[in-house]
Structures are given as structure tokens and as C-alpha cells.
A and B are shown apart, each in its own frame.
Chain A
Amino acid sequence: MPALLEARDLRAGYGPPDVLHGIDFTVEEGGVTALLGANGAGKTTTLRALCGMIRRSGRITLGGERIERAATEEIVRRGVGHVPDGRGTFLELSVEENLRLGAYTRRDRAGVAADMERMFGYFPRLQERLRQQAGTLSGGEQQMLAIARALLVKPRLLLLDEPSFGLAPLIVREIFHILRRINAEERTSILVVEQNASLALDLADHAFLLETGRIVVSGTASAIRQDETVRRSYLGY
């Protein structure tokens, strides 16, 4: 499979010190790649660096085009949907307005309307709560809203930052089930960040493990699952 996203010697940080110390990884077209690591390892930082939300250097290509100098909104327009850390809900706006913002860059009205309907197919609860202020949604519903909003960008690559965070196991199962469907039905490539490694490895075909800003292990999901370090520190057996 060809690489959709490729990062080479990616360094990034918030102030002068680097949080990411030159990492290399790829996300394959049509696949699901998991980015694992303990709290503070630099997972969120990696996603922010890809989207140009923080200072970064190195080389990042999306579908062969360089994006390491592009502004966030430009990267989004080129086909990256980002479900950020903390979900990024527009709390004061309605659910419908949140969704319309997802489609802000698009001019194909009919396509947007059809995609909106498909989102309601994945997440019927969003349709029920369309006129409600988004701040009144439960955590799980806000996560669904964030995913639907990012998918309305019509992205080639979907970035997910800890979609399981703070949610009840049942809701997490539901969300990961839908993510699997989205990957298959929409052909959206996914890069998912998770602290819950076993959950992420179930969904992913490839994975890599980040420790204090460096990649220490990478490979296919099944190989990673066998890896001693990963097993002992992140899978607990």
C-alpha cells in the first residue's frame, strides 16, 4: 500500500525545547494506524504538529504534497480531519451548527446534505439533538459530534486523539465499532491516538509506540501485540 501521510525527522514543541525529537512514521492509504504511548509521551503533540497547530520542523507529506509549512486551515482543506484532544466542541453553538462548521470548507451543497444524512446513520443521537446546545450533550455524544464534524470535512485522513477518553466502556465499544465501519465504508484512512493500547490494536493494522518524544517500536498491529515492551507496559500481560 502507498503511504498517504509521511513524516520524516519531525520535531515539534511549544516553547524552545522540543517535545518530539525527530520522529519518522507513515500512515498507509486506507489503513488504520495506532499511535500508542503513556501519558505525556507526545501523542497529542504529534497530531498538533501534523496539523500545523504548533511549532514544527522536518518533512511532512500528504499524498505526496509537502504540508509542513502550511497553515492549519490549509491542511484541513487538503483533506485532514482532526478530532482533537478534549473534543473541541463549540459548546455555545447548536449541534447542527457544529456539524455545519465541519462542512465549512465545502461548496458542494448536495454532497454535504448527503454526508450529513450518513452521519445521522452512524450517530442517530445527533439527529435527535440537532437543535440542542452542544454543551448540553453527554461526553459520548460530544465525541460522536466531534467525529461527525471531522468527517464532514470529507477528509482523506482522520486524526483521532483519544476517542475513548473519559467514556463508559459500552460507549467506547460503540464508538470504535463505528470507527471500523467508517474506515471500511468511507475509505477514510485513520491515525488514532490511544492510551488504551489493546482497544487501539484491535482497530489498527499498523502501530507505533512513542516514549518521551521518540518512537521506540513500530510495525504491524499483530507484531506490536507480541512485542515484550508493549505487552508488559501497555497491555498488562
Chain B
Amino acid sequence: MNGLLHQISSGIASGAIYASVSLALVMIYQATHHVNFAQGEMATLSTFVALTLIHAGVPFWAAFVITVVLSFGLGVAVERVLMRPVMNAPVLTSVGVFIGLLLVINALDGWIFGFTIKAFPSPFHSAHPLLGGLVSPHELGETGLTVVVLLLVWAFFRFTPLGLAMRAAAHNPVSARLCGVNVSRMLGLGWGLAAAIGAAAGIMVAPVVFLDPNMMSGILLYAFAGALLGGVDNPFGAVIGGFIVGVLENIFGAYIVGTELKLTVALIIIVAVLLVKPTGLFGRAVQVRV
């Protein structure tokens, strides 16, 4: 029983990471109808930047904030320089750009920071066992921080005029423009925000999985499964989907398929969703009356 509880709680901890990356994917998907395959590699690059800052003596949380801000800028720059020219190009063109970006960042990481696996410090420590030893201090802190980030993002989209304008620009760019919204600026902001969320997720997961240029590739797959499961056009659903995938992955890994085959859980979920309910659990078709 305690074993199962333990699997669930660490599932929630990794689910928080998947949920963040799912959200980043869905934000960009909603605005552009493209899946940013390079989302994970961008987060890895951010994590390398954070580690470099920490090694240079910058305190952990300062490094965290600096990295998140820099990553926001990276996201805006990627949109402006790489995505805007191919905005109206055929899907395969932008897929090509995403894959190219993925490979370039991956190679760049290896070239600058090396391919060896690196330890990453955790800011969360505790002398006492937490919740009866059910979770590690890092799991608890990481989950808490991620949930706070997700809530902030939600509040931003739900309660601020800028958040509303970003949603409007994603749903109906023509009408948004007629309301005076600068749609291309909103796209840039969306990319920046997605990159910033990815950076926070990368820094939070690195102490667990260790840092190397391929750190995020498996996580991106889980996040993709979470986004599909929740509904690829529904940010809220994507977050819930991310958590569900985290828990399923741990339970299946511990009791059914074994840890070596855990990644197949993501593939099974992806295939199952596409076959059974392509709109995902929370993806609702818009009700329209004429």
C-alpha cells in the first residue's frame, strides 16, 4: 500500500514537469497549429545556462530567475527570426524548421557544455522525512513550485487584459486585429512564455534525471502524451493530462511493464488517445449555433 502511495506521489512530482511542458506545447499549438518539437531542447539549453550561472557563483534562485527571463527572450527571438518567415508556409516546412532547431540546439549544447552527464543541485533540502517519508524534499519542492508557476500562468490568461488578448489572437486572429490587438506581438509573447515555462521545468527536473543534451527528449514525449490526453487545444486539459501521464507512468513502470519500458507508456497513451478520442479528455468541440 505504502509502495503504491509512493509511486503515486512521485508520479505527481514528475507529472508536474510533464504538465509544464504540455502547457508550453499547447500554448504554441493553439496560436500556430504547430507542435514545437524543439520545446524540450530549448528547455535543456536553458538548464545548461542555469548550471553555468550556478557554477559561476550565482545563488540558485537568482540563477533560476535570470534563466527564466533569458529563456523568455530566446522564445521571442525564435518566433521572430525562425517562425515568422514560415508562418504561412506548408506544414512540412515548419515541421522542418522545428526539427532543424531541435538538432541545432542539441548539437550546440553538446559542443558548448559537453555530452557528459552532469549533476544539478536541488534548492530543496530537509533534515526531516516529509509526509512519513513518502516524498523526497526535492519532489515536494519541485511539485509545489511547478504548481505555483502553473497557477500564475492560469491567472495571467484568465484575469489580465494581455492574457485575454493572447487567447483572442490564438482563437481568431482576424477578429483580434479588429479589436486593436497586435497579433504578431501576441505570438512572440506566447513563444516567450512557453520557453520560460519550459526553462522552469528543465531546472526543476535536472536534479532528478541529471543534465545532458538529451535530458528532455523522453520528457517531451510524456508531455506530448499529456497534451494529447488532455486535449491538444485545451491548456487546462493539457496540465491535467500531464499529471495523469506522470502517475500512470510510475504505476505501470513499477508494477506492470518495468522501469526499462516506461517510455512505451507514453506511446501507448498517444496511440490510444488518437484511436479512441482524438479530441482528448477535455478537448471540446466548440458549440456553434447559427
Contact in complex: B178, A51 (CB < 8 Å): yes
Can you list 11 A-B pairs with a CB-CB distance of less than 8 A? A51-B178, A73-B182, A77-B180, A84-B178, A90-B172, A93-B164, A93-B167, A93-B171, A104-B164, A105-B179, A135-B289
Contact among B164, B172, B177, B290 for A72, CB-based, below 8 A? B177
Contact in complex: B287, A72 (CB < 8 Å): no
In the bound complex, how far is the Cα of B169 from the Cα of A101, in angstroms? 10
Q: Chain B residues near A149 (CB, 8 Å)? A: 179
Contact in complex: A136, B180 (CB < 8 Å): no
- For B284, the closest partner residue in chain A by CB is A92
> Is there a chain B Cβ closer than 8 Å to A179's Cβ?
no
Q: Chain B residues near A77 (CB, 8 Å)? A: 180
> Is there a chain A Cβ closer than 8 Å to B176's Cβ?
yes
> Is there a chain A Cβ closer than 8 Å to B165's Cβ?
yes
With contact pairs A84-B174, A88-B172, A91-B171 given, residues A101 and B289 touching in the complex (Cβ less than 8 Å):
no
Q: Chain A residues near B89 (CB, 8 Å)? A: none
In the bound complex, how far is the Cα of B172 from the Cα of A44, in angstroms? 18
Contact in complex: A137, B167 (CB < 8 Å): no
Q: Chain A residues near B290 (CB, 8 Å)? A: 139, 166
Contact in complex: A135, B179 (CB < 8 Å): no
Size category, B interface: 20 to 34
Within 8 A of B (CB), among A85-140: 88-93, 97, 100-102, 104-105, 133, 135-139
With contact pairs A73-B181, A91-B171, A93-B168 given, residues A101 and B176 touching in the complex (Cβ less than 8 Å):
yes
Contact in complex: A100, B164 (CB < 8 Å): yes
Contact in complex: B286, A153 (CB < 8 Å): no
Contact among A71, A102, A136 for B287, CB-based, below 8 A? A136
Chain A 63-93, CB-CB to B under 8 Å as 1, else 0, gives: 0000000011100110000101000111111
Nearest 5 A-B pairs (CB), nearest first? A105-B180, A88-B175, A76-B180, A72-B177, A101-B179
In the bound complex, how far is the Cα of B161 from the Cα of A104, in angstroms? 7
> Is there a chain B Cβ closer than 8 Å to A53's Cβ?
yes
Report the interface size for chain A: residues with CB under 8 A from the other chain. 31
In the bound complex, how far is the Cα of B172 from the Cα of A97, in angstroms? 13
Contact in complex: B174, A104 (CB < 8 Å): no
Chain B 277-290, CB-CB to A under 8 Å as 1, else 0, gives: 00000000011111
Contact among B164, B174, B182 for A101, CB-based, below 8 A? B164
Q: Chain B residues near A72 (CB, 8 Å)? A: 177-178
Minimum Cβ distance to chain A for residue B166 (Å) = 11
In the bound complex, how far is the Cα of B206 from the Cα of A233, in angstroms? 73
Minimum Cβ distance to chain B for residue A143 (Å) = 11
Minimum Cβ distance to chain A for residue B277 (Å) = 19
Q: Chain B residues near A100 (CB, 8 Å)? A: 161, 164
Contact among A73, A91, A101, A105 for B288, CB-based, below 8 A? A91
In the bound complex, how far is the Cα of B175 from the Cα of A53, in angstroms? 11
Chain B 134-165, CB-CB to A under 8 Å as 1, else 0, gives: 00000000000000000000000000010011
In the bound complex, how far is the Cα of B66 from the Cα of A126, in angstroms? 45
Minimum Cβ distance to chain B for residue A128 (Å) = 16
In the bound complex, how far is the Cα of B172 from the Cα of A84, in angstroms? 12
- For B233, the closest partner residue in chain A by CB is A92
Known: A76-B177, A100-B164, A137-B289. 4 other contacts (CB 8 A): A90-B171, A93-B167, A97-B167, A104-B161
Contact among A73, A104, A138 for B289, CB-based, below 8 A? A138
Contact in complex: B175, A104 (CB < 8 Å): no
Contact in complex: B289, A76 (CB < 8 Å): no
Q: Chain B residues near A133 (CB, 8 Å)? A: 286-287
In the bound complex, how far is the Cα of B288 from the Cα of A227, in angstroms? 41
Q: Chain B residues near A82 (CB, 8 Å)? A: 178
Chain A 127-165, CB-CB to B under 8 Å as 1, else 0, gives: 000000101111100000000011001000000000000
Minimum Cβ distance to chain B for residue A113 (Å) = 14
Q: Chain B residues near A92 (CB, 8 Å)? A: 171, 286
Minimum Cβ distance to chain A for residue B76 (Å) = 19
Contact in complex: A153, B287 (CB < 8 Å): no
Minimum Cβ distance to chain B for residue A84 (Å) = 6
Chain B 81-112, CB-CB to A under 8 Å as 1, else 0, gives: 00000000000000000000000000000000
- For A146, the closest partner residue in chain B by CB is B175
Q: Chain B residues near A76 (CB, 8 Å)? A: 177-180
Contact in complex: B174, A88 (CB < 8 Å): yes
Minimum Cβ distance to chain A for residue B74 (Å) = 26
Contact in complex: B287, A135 (CB < 8 Å): yes
- For B174, the closest partner residue in chain A by CB is A88
Contact in complex: B168, A101 (CB < 8 Å): yes
Q: Chain B residues near A51 (CB, 8 Å)? A: 178
Contact in complex: A104, B178 (CB < 8 Å): no
In the bound complex, how far is the Cα of B180 from the Cα of A73, in angstroms? 4
Q: Chain B residues near A84 (CB, 8 Å)? A: 174-175, 178
